[in-house]
Amino acid sequence: MSTKEIKIGAFQERIILNVGGIKYETFRSTLIAYPETYLGTMFADRNRELLHSTKENEYFIDRDGELFRFILQFYRTGKIHFPLENNKYSKEEIYEEMDFFQIPIVFSNHDCEKEEGKVTISLSQKVQKALAKKLDEFINSLIQCINEAMEYFETKFSLKFYRFYQPEHDDWDKKEKKYPYIKFMRSFDRVGYDILERFNKEIITYLQKEIGTELSWTINKNVNSGYYKIDITIPKDFYDVKDILNFSQLLENN
């Protein structure tokens, strides 16, 4: 097969995106035209082996299906036309989807202008605050997870957050039966990767300050398999029998 035939094949390859139950159909070439975005990276040639379709060339993405039409509009036209003020979709909701799909943003006083291949928009502080709230929720949930793991006398456990949805890894019910404390992280199954991609160093620094240095943890990125892994180690001598008994009713009558 010639190089020309391969390029034509890529251009004609149709992709079905099932976003929150709503299906969209487009060409792979439409998505990879913006290689720095979420979908541009997802469908790049180098990541073909990481893709797992639910059906033939159909891929599920756990996001708002109705709002996705604005995202696909960007891939097709390079622009996003925001709805009128009385529309049921707010700009803030669209901004959040743009952030998830890594649509390039340039701050400006003008909305929806194309500048050097980027969308120029005005991003309100409300969106930044919403993302900061999500980051804080992730950190607090992680601390809750660690605290409850210690109540099970755990000495080591791991958490994985995948970049792309993979059905074989979507088994939280099964994992929670074995490790009940991971329930705190379930709601971050899809966004955890993006949080760790951007803030892993700051998270480690915060945990060291908040929890102390008795525990140890590492955050590692597996590029080939497309996930971040948090390994948390609790030393065995952390569970000192005498100290535990001092707080127990077992010694009250002795």
Residues 5-61 pLDDT 10s: 434 444 568 999 999 999 999 999 999 988 888 998 888 888 877 787 777 889 999
Q: How confident is the model at residue 65 (pLDDT cuts 50, 70, 90)?
A: very high
Instruction: Specify whether 8 is located in the same domain as 110.
Output: yes
Q: Which H, E and C letters describe the chain, residue by residue?
A: CCHHHHHHHHHHCEEEEEECCEEEEEEHHHHHCCCCCHHHHHCCHHHHHHCCCCECCEEEECCCCCCHHHHHHHHHHCCCCCCCCCCCCCHHHHHHHHHHCCCCEEECCCCCEEECCEEEECCCHHHHHHHHHHHHHHHHHHHHHHHHHHHCCCCEEEEEEECCCCHHHCCHHHHHHHCHHHHHHHHHCCCHHHHHHHHHHHHHHHHHHHHCCCCEEEEEEECCCCEEEEEEECCHHHCCHHHHHHCCHHHCCC
Give the C-alpha separation, 35 to 32, whole Å.
5
| CATH assignment at residue 75 | 3.30.710.10
Q: Are residues 8 and 78 in the same domain?
A: yes
Q: Is residue 247 part of a domain?
A: no
**In this structure, is residue 86 part of a structural domain?**
yes
Domain closes at, from 122, 150, 174: 122
By residue range, what is the domain housing residue 61?
3-122
**254 in a domain, yes or no?**
no
Looking at the structure, tell me whether residues 9 and 117 fall in a common domain. yes
pLDDT of residue 253 exceeding 80: no
Q: Residue 166: which pLDDT band, with cuts at 50, 70 and 90?
A: low
Percent of the chain residues past pLDDT 70, beyond the cut: 80
Partners of 160 in the β-ladder? 229
Higher pLDDT among residues 32 and 128, named by residue: 32
Asked if residue 146 belongs to a domain, the reply is yes
User: Tens digits of per-residue pLDDT, 87-96?
Assistant: 677 878 888 8
Look at 146-150, 158-162, 168-172, 232-236 and tell me which has the smallest mean pLDDT.
168-172
Instruction: Please determine, for residue 63, whether its predicted confidence score (pLDDT) is greater than 90.
Output: yes
Residue that terminates a domain, selected from 87, 102, 122: 122
- Same domain for 88 and 64: yes
Q: Are residues 215 and 151 in the same domain?
A: yes
Last residue of a domain, one of 89, 106, 122: 122
For residues 115 and 159, membership in a common domain is answered with no
Q: Which two tokens stand for residue 249?
A: 């009713």
Q: What is the mean pLDDT of residues 134-148?
A: 92
Q: Are residues 19 and 72 in the same domain?
A: yes
Query: Residue 107 pLDDT more than 60?
Result: no
Structure pTM?
A: 0.53
User: Residue 119: what pLDDT?
Assistant: 46
If asked whether residues 109 and 139 sit together in one domain, one would say no
CA distance 198 to 205: 14
- What is the structure's pLDDT at 250? 83
Tell me, yes or no, whether 87 and 163 share the same domain. Answer: no
Q: Rounded distance, CA 208 to CA 17, Å?
A: 41
| In a shared domain, residues 60 and 108 | yes
Total structural domains in the chain?
2
Domain assignment of residue 155, yes or no:
yes
Other beta carbons less than 10 A from residue 78's beta carbon: 13
Residue 252 lies in a domain: no
Predicted local distance difference test score (pLDDT) of residue 86: 57
Are 109 and 205 part of one and the same domain? no
What is the CB neighbour count within 10 angstroms for residue 217?
18
243: in domain:
no
132 and 232 in a common domain: yes
On whether residue 80 sits in a domain, the answer given is yes
